Structure 1
Amino acid sequence: MTRLIIIRHGQTLWNLERKYQGHSDIALSDKGIKQAEAVAARLAKEKIDAVYASDLSRACKTAEYIAARHNLKVNITPELREIKFGEWEGLTYDQITARWPGMLGKLWTTPDELEIPGGESFHQLKERAYAAIQKIIKEHPGQTVAVVAHGGTIGTILCAVLDIHLNHVWSIKQDNTAVNIIEYYDGRPVITLLNCVRHLENN
């Protein structure tokens, strides 16, 4: 059995300010650092053979806390980045709605049809992120691998695993430092844990 532990990064200031981040490299907030430390402590007793992360600092830094507990290095994987929000990056919901009336509603209802100005589609995100996951699985047969990525990225990966339409991507909640576990039996994926944040109960 190959086991993936997929974790969303800790909180950033832009998460707190409800700004769209995308490919913008926003650091963890103080709370995000505490969240990263908490999820690392939670996973300390797991037998983790490798750690992968998006190259954006919020994911990479979260992964570093996890990797340090296992004396591992972080394998930087740009394909695990969040969706590129293009001209929306750094803007709030209200700012986007004012400049692109009606467009943001599609993000939540029909993301599969959304064309983000200067950005990428959810199909493109799913293709690059799931290809990265498949490569990781191929390179670590029979091992347990921690993967730190982003909310949208993880959502599309889970859509791919469950073979469900991308319009359901936001039906799969991902809180900061949420832990998800996928076990592969002869290539067949089984999700055994989803959006678990019990490590944050006292934080």
Structure 2
Amino acid sequence: MVSGTARPASLSMLFWAFNRLALQGFGGVLAVAQRELVERLGWLSREDFVEMLSIAQVLPGPNVVNLSLMIGDRFFGLRGALTALAGMLLFPSFIVLGLASISDALLQHQTMAGALRGMGAVAAGLIIATGLKLLPSLKRNPLGRAWALLLALAAFGAIALARTPLVWVVLGLGGIGMGLAWRRLSRDDGDEPA
């Protein structure tokens, strides 16, 4: 998929990169993942990140966990996938279990409940900022920016305004998007000289 990007030098580098990524991402790891994997480490181009994230979002499970599996597999095969997954989940699991054991006591305080609501707003802002940052990568998308934005607006409208269940949005608009991309790609392949 990509050529000329950096790669992790070892499995331990892969583990600690995903561990650092997971520990920074309270309320949403996507913005941190894009910054770490594309901008700081250079393991993926923006276009590759968007492609892999698209696949990760369709698969069952959390999208960044799926992304860690795909990136680990890309560089080190099954060992890399398991190492990236361990980096993503090991220490954060201990933190979550520890916080869960004291959460009743913490949530009794209005200050803590307010802080959690504030973190939710920050997480939403980070996701919007990441989407805007990745917007230029749609220039190379087979659909083009206009169709991609139209489908994104339709998805927003279907979910947020019409309250359509996510499975129907993914099947309906996802199917339309795949069909349009397939049509555009097959037409472009037919235009190339043999």
Larger Rg: 2
Whose relative contact order is higher, 1 or 2, with alpha carbons under 8 Å and at least 6 apart?
1
TM above 0.5, yes or no, is: no
In the superposition, the TM-score normalised over structure 1's length comes to 0.27
In the superposition, the TM-score normalised over structure 2's length comes to 0.27
Instruction: Name the structure where helix makes up a greater proportion of residues.
Output: 2
